[in-house]
Amino acid sequence: MKPQIWQIVRFGLVGVVNTATFYVLYLALHPFLPYFAAFTVAFLLSMVGSFFMNTYFTYRTKPTWRKFLLFPLPNITNYLVQSGGVVALVQWLKVNDRIAPLLAAAVAIPITFVLSKLVLTGRPSAEGEDLRPAPVRVEMVDQ
């Protein structure tokens, strides 16, 4: 398989582990905090684990403080998509507040992959693929 496919598979595996970690934290915090506060704290804690799993396992790059400090940027988008989804599912669609975070996470996965890859590797596309436009060659023609 192409390296990009394996990277997506590894991202998916990290996502499963990270989602499970998040969900266990969410359920542990839920009895003590309102659902949205439990969601937020669990999200932040699991994001730290996600950084290290994605750095070492998914993208096979070295963690740096710069990457660690930038890593929340793609996760802000993830957080907005997921938290908006959780509120919409619970408040408007009356989905159980223990199930809503899992459904909202499914929507955010593709967005998070692209943005985290950009932050952790500096490349939004497949390794080795150059997205820069080809240079324009201008030829002068006598008329």
pLDDT tens string 28-37:
999 999 999 9
**Residue 86 belongs to a domain:** yes
Domain count, the chain: 1
| Residues 55-114 pLDDT 10s | 999 888 989 999 999 988 888 888 898 899 999 999 999 999 989 988 998 888 778 888
Q: What is the pLDDT of the chain when averaged over all its residues? A: 83
**Residue 15 belongs to a domain:** yes
Q: How far is CA 75 from CA 1, 87, 92, in A?
A: 28, 18, 24
**Residue 134 belongs to a domain:** no
Predicted pLDDT at 131: 35
With b meaning 16 or more CB within 10 Å and e meaning fewer, what string describes 14-25?
bbeebbebbbeb
In whole angstroms, what is the distance from residue 17 CA to residue 15 CA?
5
**Residue 70 belongs to a domain:** yes
Overall pTM surpassing 0.75 (yes/no): no
Range of the domain at 38: 3-121
